[in-house]
Structure 1
Amino acid sequence: MLTVHHLNNSRSQRVLWLLEELGAPYEIRSYQRDAKTMLAPPELRAIHPLGKSPVVTEDGLTLAETGAIVEWIVDRYGQGRLAPPPGSAERVRWSYWLHYAEGSAMPPLLLKLVFGRLPAGAPSLLRPVVNMIAARAQASFIDPNLKTHFDYWESELGKSEWFAGPRFSAADVMMSFPVEAAADRGGALNGRSRLAAFLEKIHARPAYQRALERGGPYAYA
């Protein structure tokens, strides 16, 4: 059976949600972040050398990277669901958003998280300097970059109800984590009604709720 190696408050919540949308059988092996560092526990390295989540295993296969996992699950269990037909214009857009979610959307959000935490981790004597550097980096580079992405998402959701077209798809599952993280730490919903509506719609989906029940508390829900 497919096993999802699930880390709390992580990208792996999307994998549980996708499987619930497809009604595919799976089991969960849960891991908890270190309370101080917020990093994944070393036990995950026994599953995959990078020690990250999500990772899925099935019949000798070990697969990491959320986008690759989502594509594999849709191919294996989708039976044509949650993906536009191959060769269609929607399929190209679907593939774009599937890869954009981690390739372009998440790096500036990660920078926002890291630079936001830098001052607290610095020695007390250096904290004012680190705080100044972190604030300057956010104001001059990170925040403008994030605004560009957030405005782009808002604009694209004005072209169709969902990211890849008129129908909900795995592309929306992939984009859920960047949008949720952006709403939590980047103020993405301020003045962006389409993004707010997107979150409301995905959070109301029965499969999303079932994934929460199985996966446990999730800070971004």
Structure 2
Amino acid sequence: MAVELGDALLHFVGNLRPLDRAYDRMKSKSKAAGATGTKAMRPMNAVLGQMKKLVAGIGIAFLAWKVSSIFKNAISAAGQFQSAMNRVRALTGATGDEFAKLNEKAKELGATTQFTAGQVADAMGFMAQAGFDTTEIYDSLNDTLVLAAAAQLDLATAADIVTNVMAGFGFQSEELGGAVDVLTAAFTSANTDLTQLAQAMKLAGPVAKNAGLSFEETTAAIALMGNAGFQGSLAGTAMR
């Protein structure tokens, strides 16, 4: 609603500009016509003067609305970030120093990558939920960012996917970088994406592991099935 109002105000002000230019042309002609022309222009002068005051008032109101909107968005983002970080602290039991380190890392990545600090905090939450401690979360963030960027997914979804896949194969946190490399190689070279790969892995992973297949072999098999038109749960079911 606020955006529609702002657009309407801009449209209204823009439509007054041709009228203003037409008025200037008429004013020039009235001067050339002498006293009669000047007298005829007086009512229009009054009307246009009032309209200009109205436009000035609208401009001030619109500016105030715009500034207010920016501040509201900033406050909302800060609140969401703090809420996400509080969740991380609750899940990890982080001490003051540990929490401060993660907090600063989220802000740093939010300022230097395509992701916001709030998105980084959400990803930390998924890692914490998967059992990562504060050090493991800190060390895993950069690899998770690479995965999310390559897959064109939000950071929290990428973190959720990779930690779920790792859990299925019994991987430890220090193996996340290797898992990211294997997954990225698969979805960037085959007819499947990371989400479909994760769906297939959810179904096929435990079976493949029990059958003695490695993570790399399982991922390669799912990628090949993607090239054959079997993706997501179809690929996972077929492998079972």
Q: Shared topology, TM-score over 0.5?
A: no
Please give the TM-score of this superposition, normalised by the length of structure 1.
0.24
Determine which structure has the larger strand proportion and give its number. 1
Determine which structure has the larger helix proportion and give its number. 2
Please give the TM-score of this superposition, normalised by the length of structure 2.
0.23
